[in-house]
Structures are given as C-alpha cells and as structure tokens.
Structure 1
Amino acid sequence: MNRKGLTTAEALERAKKGKNVLTQGKKKSLLSVIAEQFASPLLLLLVAASVISIMTGEIVDGVIIIVVVLANVIIGTVQELSAEKSVEALRQINASTAVVIRDGMETEIPAADLVEGDYVILEAGRVVPADLALVQTSSLKVNESALTGESVAVEKDCNEKSDEKTPLGDRKDKVFMSTLVEYGRGEGVVEKIGDHTEIGKISGMLHQIEKQETPLQKNLDSISKVLGIAGVVLCVVMFACQIFIYRTPVIETLMISIAFAVAVIPEGLATVVTLVLTAGIQEMSKRNAIVKQIHAVETLGAVNVICSDKTGTLTQNRMTVVKWYLAGEAMEPEELPADSRVFPRLLEGFLACNDAKYSEETGEEIGDPTETAFVKYAKDKKLGYYDIMRNITRFDEIPFDSVRKMMTTLDRVERNGEIKNISYTKGAIDSVIVRCDRILDEDGVREITNEDVVRATQMADIMSSEALRVLALAYREGDTVPQEKDMIFVGLGAMIDPPKEGVKET
C-alpha cells in the first residue's frame, strides 16, 4: 500500500461526492414546532371552548382560556427549541479530527473532510473517523460498543480477511466510524464515508422510526375525548330538559347548555402538566442531561428497571492503582518505604512497557484504562513522570496478545549517566512468573524460589478476589531484541475501576 496517501488534487476531486458526515433528521421549523404543540386533543378542546365562550358573550372566560392555551404552547416551544440548540452546540464541540497522510505528509484535518482512499493513522484515544480497511496494526484494540453494543475492546489484525457477509464483530481487518481506539496503533485506508458507513446505515434506520405517543399523552388524549363526548352529551341533555320540561326560551336554553359544556373542560390541566414536565426537564439539565421532547420526561419517570453497563456507566472507567506487591510484601501506596530499591524499578517498568500517553492539552491520560492507571499514578503522586519517560527510548516490542497474555518492550534506558538496553515484560502473573529465574528484592537480585512463586501467585489471587485487576512485571538487561525468558521478577500492580459519585445512593 502506498503510504504517501492521496494528493490534495485527488482529495478535492473525490470530495465532490459529499462530506464525511451523517445526515441529520429534517430540522423542524418554528411553525412546525408550534403546530405540534396544538396536536394535543386537550388543547384543541380548550381552543374550541374559548371560541364558544366568546361567541356566547363570555368574553372574559374566552380570553382566559386563550391565555392558558398560549402559555402552554409557548412553554413547550421554548423548551424544545432550547434543547435543539443545546444538542447542536454539543455536535459542534464534539466535532472530531483525523490524522491523515496527504501529499506524503502527515497532517490533521476535520473528519468531515475525509474522502474515500484517504490514508488514516490511528492511535489510542482517537475516534475512528470513517470505515477503514486496516493495512497495518500494532496491538490495536477498538471499542465498538457504539456499533455492536459489546463493551469489551476488540483486537484488530490487518492480516485477517473478511467480506460483507462476515458479521461486524468478526471483521478484524476493518474499523468503523464512531468507534474508539482504546489501545495500540494502526493505519488504514478509507473505504466508506458518511451515510454509507455501518453507523450511517443505523442512523438512517433511526430516522425512519415513527414517532410514538408517551403513556401520559395517551391518557390525556383519552381524557380529552371523554370530556369532549361528555360535554356534548350533557349539552344535549340540558338543552332537552330546558326546552321540554322547564319550557325555557330556545336562545336562553342554548346559552345555558353551552356554558355547562364549557364548564366541564379543565382549562388548567394542560398548563399544569406542561409546567410539571418542564420542572422535570430543568432538574435533569442540572445533571447534564438534555431532553429534546418534553413528554419524554414522563416516560423516563415511568421506568421501573434500568439495565446498565458497569464500566464507564456505574464506574468511572478510570483504573486507579490501589495496591502494590514487591519484595515479598503487599502494600498500599501510602505504605511504600521511601528508600525502597524495588519500587522505582517497578514503576519505571510499568511506565516503559506502556502505550498510554499524557495529554498536556486536555490534562488527561489517553489510552487503555489499565495502562493509563500507571501514568496517572506517577502524575498524581508527583513521582517524576516526565523525568522517567525522558530517559526511556523504545526501539522494539512484542505486542500483547491473548494467547501469551503478555507485552514486552525493549527500551534504551539512561540512568545515572549509564545507558542500558532493558526488556520490560508485563502481563498475567501465571504467564510472567514462569519465565523468571531470578527475583529483585531490597537486597538486590537473587535466584527465585518456589516459595517466592507461590507467595506472589497467592497474593495475585487475593487481589483478584477483591475485584482488583492485577499485572505482573519482570525485566532482563543487555538484549538487542526483546525476549521473554530468564527474566527477573519485580512485583505486581493492582488496580480498581472506582464507582462514580452517587452511584450507591442512586
């Protein structure tokens, strides 16, 4: 594949086919929003009542009913237009960019400007800007929950082959628009853009869904119909009684009957319902939730059971290091000895054998949550993150895979004026420790014993039983290619994904 990408001229020519954006639903005009407010049978009943009141000389009553109707329409219209503006503002804020190669140079452009054939570079933390065919991957993992609903990141491999008949979740050589790169790196060529992407097809189907009434709307419509019929029936009965029993003049009887029918209609019901729903919307907005349709609040209030994904929903999706195991002892961060000889090597190893990055622009860590945990720990504890990384240069690696359950990097490390090649390996305890023949403790490196292996393995099991995610670290020095044998065991790092504030109360 030509890594030079497209030329600017080629990109401009292909851009004539359209932008890389999803078609939004037809935007409502102000008149259509107002018209929708009058679609309620209850409001139509009130309008009819106001007209009849005015025609029969009850000007004051008619005007009051009109004011109630207008108040209801204005509140509903303002709320819906305000929500629409908020959603549009969010779209502008979240407009993504893409790193592409054009004219042989790497450049960042708005994702909307991508065209078919563009050569795109992916890295941890970026949203996939279009449907791509992968041509190069390095430990690439993509979260496709927006497309498939599967919360676990999917491993991608450019060497796999798939076609249109292959299920989306099994297309390992493809990545799709709106999915998130959680780990590793990759490069690919744009195959589809905009509405032609897989997420675009789903978006198109959503636009075809017919609007359904909420339970409250159905109940109000039912009440309106009952009241309307009841009003007509009572009006006829009253008219008949006045004419045939009390011999009241026709005009006077008609006025009394109409007044009775109007009195049946609850003029304040529509406004009360609208005000209550608006109060609910305002309360939700304080919690950063935007409600576009005012009646959706009532539907949400009728929910009895909420099924929720844990990671990132109930929890913060920000793994946090809470425990270490080194020199034969498990300890929390506050218990680490200040003069430990093992911990600096343990932290250096977890930072070196790591694809996560720290963004100065956003002030956040970017990458797989398991790896960002160590970056965050070094930053939060002020352990010289930049000094450590400045002295580490990676020049080779063995990517993580689910069979080995390990990842190894070969780094050139400068320490105290001396430069060494060091291979750091991290992964599952049972995969790492069996490849170690030595162990590092506070007295230095010594041969590893069966007791050391049993103790470290048992401690990993205990940490796992406490809902912690555990990684082991080992290293070896002097290599020119990364190797995973005859290593020196250093220790364990244990993390947890803490729950969000208020989850327990909720």
Structure 2
Amino acid sequence: MELTRRIQELTPDQLYQELGSRPEGLAQDEAVRRLSVYGPNVLKEVKGKPLIFKLLANFTHIMAIMLWVAGIGAFVARMPELGIAVWAVNIINGAFSFFQEFRAEKATQALKKILPSTSRVMRNGEETSVLAQELVPGDVIFLQEGDSIPADCRLLNSSDLRVNQSTLTGESHPVNRSAEPVSGEQMTRTDIPNLIFAGTFVAAGSGKAIVYATGMNTNFGRIAQITQSLKEELSPLQKEMENVTKIVTVIAVGVGLLFLVIALVLVKIPLIESFIFTLGMVVAFVPEGLLPTVTLALAMGTQRMAKRNALIKKLSAVETLGCTNVICTDKTGTLTQNEMTVRAVWVPATREGEPYAGREIAVSGTGYEPVGTFAENGASLDSRSVGAINDVILTQAKCNTARLLPPETLEDGTKTGWKVLGDPTEAALLVLAEKAGYARADLQNEQSIAELPFDSRRKRMTVVHMQRVDGAIERVAYVKGGIREILDVCSGIRVGDQIIPLNQDWISFIMAQNDDFARQGLRVLAAAARTLPRELDDYQVETIEADLTFLGNIRAGNTHRDADIRFFQGGGIIDTVAGHRDHIAKLLERGDDS
C-alpha cells in the first residue's frame, strides 16, 4: 500500500484514515478484496529449476560430458567393457549427487517456516483468529508476550512492549517499543520505536498494531528479495574441475593426434586402425575415477557436518568452506549462543584493613538449564545461608517479567531445550534463583501489588510485594537496574548484616568494580530494596524509588559457541569487525565469554 505520509509520524486517527481502516478493524469483504489486490502475506520464492533440469545438471557438467565422450570413444575403439564402465561411473555419480542435493533441498523447505500460522485480528468489530498469510494492510492485530509478528506494523497502543529484532539486526537484547508518534528522520527504520516488523517476536508486554505492509513488501521480504536475486557462481571446486577437464582434454587430444601422425607416417599403419589406436590413447587419458572419488569425499564431509546439525545444500559447498580465507560474521547468535548466563553475584563487605571490599560468589552452569552451584574462592557455598547474597538473588528474580518453559518431548522422542518468553537477561535471573533453590513456579506465579516497569530514561524496574519483615507483614519495594541509576536513588548500603549510610567512598569503590566487570565483557545489574512506610498510599516513581538500600549486583554474559571460537583460533586468522567497544571485540578474539 502506498503511503502519502511517514507512518511513524501519524496519530492513531490519522493511521486509520491513511490505511483506510477503523478501530473496529476491516470488514470481512474489504479484507477479502485487499487480499486479492495485495496478495497473501507470504515470502515469494524465485521459481527454481524444474526437478528434471536439476537431475540433468549432474550429467551435463564439463567433467561428465568428458566421460560421456570417453565412453563413446571406447565403444568406437572396440573396448565396449571400458565404455560401459565409464558410463556406469558417470550415471552412478550423477544419481548420487542428485540424491544428496534433493534430500538437502527437502530439509531446507521444512525449515522455511518463519512467519506464524495464525494471528489475532479485529474484523467487523470482533476479535478473531485468521491465518497469518491472510493478513492485509489495514488489519488491526493484537500482540502479547511470545507472539511472532506476522507483518510490518505501526503500534496503536502498547503496555511495556519489548521486541526481539535479532532476525533483522542480529542483536538479541529486546528493544522497547511504544505507540507515540515520532519524526524518525535521523533513525534507521528498525530503530523507530513505534514500528514493529515481520519475522521478529514479542519478548515482553503486549500491544495493538495496524498492518501497513505484508509479504514481499515487508522489511523481511525486501531482504529475501535481495538474497534471491544474487547470481549463483561456480564454486572453487567446480572451477578447478573445469580447468582439470580442459587440461586433460587438450593433453589427451594432443597426444592422440601426435600418435596418429606417428602411426600413419612413420609406422605406416592403415588409417582406420590408426584412428582406433588414437581413440584408445585418448580414452586412456580420461581420469574416470576422479569424479566419483571427489563426490564420495564431499558426501562424507556432508554426512559428518549433518551429524553436527549443519545442512549442506550442494556438495561443492563443503570444499568451498575449505577454501575460505576470511569469514565476516555477526557476534550475537553466531559466535555466541544468544543465551545469557549469570556468572557471579557480588555483595559489599569489609575485611581487616579494607573498609571497602566485596564478596564475589561464582555461579557455575551455562544457558537456561537451572543446574549449577555457588562457590567463593573455590569453596562450595549455600547461597541461601548468606542473607546479603540471598537478597540480591531474590530481588533480581522478583523484578522480572520473563518466563522459563521446560523442555518438551516431541513426537519423535527428541527433547527440546529450555525456552524463554521475555528478555534473555531476565530469564538468566530466574535460572539463578532456581540454582539457589527457589521453585520456578513460585517465583513466576508470585503476584506483586504494584509495579513500576523498566524504561530507558530511569533504567530501573521496581515491584512491590507483601513480605514478612521482623515478624510483621510489610510492603517491600524491590528494585533492579544499572549500577549508576540504582546508586542515584540509594541512601544506604548493606554490608554484611548491617545497613550503613552510603557515602561517596562506597560509591567510588562500587563504580570502579563495575568498570572492571565491563572490561570483562559482562553485563552488570544492581539490586536494591526498601521497606515502605505504612503511611505511603501511592506508588509513584518519586515516592517508591527513593531512600533505597544498595544490596549488590550480578554479572551476566552471553555464552560463546566453543566450536566456533576453536574454528577461528585454529585457523590462526582473527579479523574482528564489531559494533562493540574495543574490549569486547578483544574478548571475542581470545575466546572469552561476552
């Protein structure tokens, strides 16, 4: 649909007018009409070669042609056994190559299911569920945590909405989205806060949006169009095989002609016999075993990679990887697993001769599987036995909107991994609490009496719970956020079992610790809490997030893929192209987690 104005600048009423829609959604007959105009909401694929052409391609490349010709030559030279053998090799090799590529193509088609199957839509004033491929511009859709976004949309309203755009940007951290109109002149399209895109998904919150682009007109569709328009080039192996074939052909024909001249001029052999002798010489030069040897070697490589969940569509791609000198790759989800893991818990402490110090508790385990232990200076530790550490863990878990879903057993008997609904870092905090012995269900089902959601200005999140404090039931505010943002609203600090005033020396010490953690490529989240006065009767940021007690912080990192890091280090070439600070790029080069 052609838009006359920038869609990010419009108010909801202007959006309905621009897209020919209304708050009640499109009428069903209008939706059907638009579907016929704009087409289904699917990614169109460039029409591939017919199956018969793909089959014939394995019998008509230059090496195969040389073998066909060699077989004919063998028959003419009165060597039918050799001719049959050469042709049999060619047929078996071509059929085997086609089978490998056909099987890979079928597997690829099974993976191309990125868009959701159904969406919640407002049609004729009623909420209904329709196939995602039937969405059209002007449809009003509803989104909630965990939903895949089926089309490019402009938000109409939202509630603490955060979207994971890693399929478009490569960054796993969810971004905040809101419905307010913005100018967006200096921003890239994926940075505009009121736009959401097909192929991404809702990490947290909920919202209502209006569709403005579907199918190939979406951002995702334009990317697909670019990739499909790329011209397929010969692989290094195919180029080498062509060169070898040309060289062998020239040598074979050259030597054959030389012997033909010798046979006719010097030895005086009759023409027919000389020609047959020459054909035999030419056929003898043909390396009929080369093609199946190469094919089988590549097939073995393909099978080995398949066992490691790598899908090879063409056999020649295996050799192409071996010829690669430089690989440009994204960090998130490629060098790293797109899974956050809490590595340590830090709490303020004092030691003899050190009035400003801390305790660092290491946490084992990686990913979202809630299995791990706590240790201090190498000695095992029960985190719940240390009140200060326990309070940090509980605060981080209570200030949380993520959900952990346990593995499921599929129909074929295989088990899925742990799944996350929400922010990866918040999910890691739930895992931390479960490692400490807290039941996941209790944490996820615990209801707060008030919540101040995280926003990019405050960089803090607060929840208020009813809690037993010194034998009485009190309202306790739990706060998490960035180190500086938490310290700004704290007046006290918990050191061991005591709460003392937070002075500038403690602030300087904590910030210095934070800088050290940042240089390790880790994300730091601070925790604070406060028992609310009984006379407090409103839950505003200014009244809740004040006079807090600083408890400590956690350090979390994105687990790298060991196999990928070993691959690059084994090659001895590490060229880093990163949109990160220098120290994070260097950590990646060394193979450290980031």
The alignment's TM-score, normalised by the length of structure 2, stands at 0.76
The answer to whether the 8 A contact 1:356-1:366 is kept is yes
Aligned length: 503
Give, in angstroms, the shift of residue 59 of structure 1: 0.9
Asked whether the equivalents of residues 131 and 198 of structure 1 are also in contact (C-alpha less than 8 Å), the reply is: yes
Question: In structure 2, do the counterparts of structure 1 residues 186 and 444 end up closer, same or farther at CA, with 3 Å as the change threshold?
Answer: farther
Amino acid at match of 2:392: L
Aligned counterpart in structure 2 of residue 100 of structure 1, from 110, 120, 137: 120
Cα distance change on mapping 1:150 and 1:498 into 2, 3 Å: closer
Corresponding position: 1:331 with 2:360:
yes
| Residues 426 and 432 in structure 1, CA contact (< 8 A), matched pair in contact too | yes
Whole-angstrom distance in 1 between the partners of 2:406 and 2:103:
34
CA distance in structure 1 between the partners assigned to 2:518 and 2:498 by the alignment: 28
What residue in structure 2 maps to residue 270 of structure 1?
291
- 2:445 pairs, out of 379, 390, 393, with 390
Range with bigger deviation, 369-378 or 432-441: 432-441
Aligned to 1:365: 420
- Correspondence list, 1:165-244, <5 A: 167-182=188-203, 184-244=205-265
Deviates further, 469-478 or 426-435: 469-478
How far apart, CA to CA, are the structure 1 residues paired with 2:191 and 2:518?
A: 30
Does structure 1 residue 135 correspond to structure 2 residue 156?
yes
Partner of 1:285: 306
The amino acid across from 2:424 in the alignment is P
**Deviation of 1:425 (Å):** 2.6
**Letter of the aligned partner of 1:326 in structure 2?**
V
After TM superposition, give the deviation of residue 292 of structure 1 in Å: 0.7
Shift of 1:480: 2.1
Moved more, 492-501 or 368-377: 492-501
Distance 1:127 1:309, change over 3 A: same
User: Which 5+ residue runs of structure 2 have no aligned equivalent?
Assistant: 1-11, 13-21, 350-357, 362-373, 376-380, 409-417, 568-594
Q: 1:480 aligns with which of 501, 524, 538?
A: 538
Structure 1 Cα separation of the partners of residues 476 and 31 of structure 2:
44
Query: Which residue, out of 431, 436, 443, partners 1:376?
Result: 431
1:346 corresponds in structure 2 to 392
Q: Give the aligned residue type for 2:529.
A: Y
The one-letter code sitting in structure 2 at the alignment partner of 1:358 is L
Asked whether the 8 Å contact 1:142–1:181 carries over to 2, the reply is yes
Q: Distance in 1 between matches of 2:30 and 2:331?
A: 45
Shift of residue 457 of structure 1?
Answer: 3.2
After superposition, the C-alpha distances for 1:239-283 in whole angstroms (9 at most, x for unaligned) are 222222222112111111111111111111111111111111111
Task: Output the CA distance in 2 between the equivalents of 1:394 and 1:408.
Answer: 14
- Give me the whole-angstrom Cα distance separating, in 1, the residues matched to 2:472 and 2:443: 14
Which of 293, 317, 340 in structure 2 is aligned with 1:319? 340
In structure 1, the residue matched to 2:81 is 60
- Cross-structure match for 1:436: 490
Moved more, 38-47 or 494-503: 494-503
Aligned 8 A contact 1:158 1:172 in 2: yes
Aligned twin of 1:499: 560
Contact 1:100-1:106 within 8 A present in 2 as well: yes
Separation in 2, partners of 1:486, 1:342:
18
Alignment partners' CA distance in 2, 1:114 and 1:136: 19
Q: Is 1:463–1:470's contact at 8 Å kept on the other side of the alignment?
A: yes
Structure 1 residue 73, shift from structure 2 partner = 0.3
How do residues 3-82 of structure 1 correspond to structure 2 at under 5 angstroms?
Answer: 4-6=24-26, 11-16=31-36, 17-82=38-103
In terms of mean alpha carbon deviation, does 207-216 or 64-73 score higher? 207-216
Distance in structure 2 (CA, Å) of the matches to 1:460 and 1:163: 34
Change over 3 Å in CA distance of 1:54–1:381 after alignment to 2? farther
Tell me if the contact between 2:142 and 2:208 (Cα under 8 Å) persists in the aligned partners: yes
Q: Secondary structure at the match of 1:393?
A: coil
| Runs of 5+ consecutive residues of structure 1 not aligned to the other structure | none
1:331 is aligned with what amino acid?
Answer: E
Paired residue for 2:132? 111
CA contact (8 A) 2:467 2:476 kept: no
Per the alignment, residue 364 of structure 2 pairs with none
Aligned partners of 2:420 and 2:427 also within 8 Å: yes
1:19 alignment partner AA? P
Distance across 2 between alignment mates of 1:101 and 1:169: 23
Structure 1 residue 74: deviation in Å?
0.9
8 A Cα contact 1:421 1:479, kept in partner: no
What CA distance in whole angstroms lies between the structure 2 residues aligned with 1:466 and 1:86?
A: 40
TM-score, length-normalised on structure 1?
0.88
Q: Could you tell me which residue of structure 2 aligns to residue 297 of structure 1?
A: 318
Deviation at 1:422, TM superposition (A): 4.1
RMSD of the alignment, in Å?
Answer: 3.1
Between the aligned partners of 2:57 and 2:185, the Cα distance in structure 1 is: 42
After TM superposition, give the deviation of residue 349 of structure 1 in Å.
Answer: 2.3
Whether the 8 Å contact between 2:462 and 2:480 is mirrored in structure 1 is no
Provide the secondary structure at the position in 1 that maps to 2:559.
coil
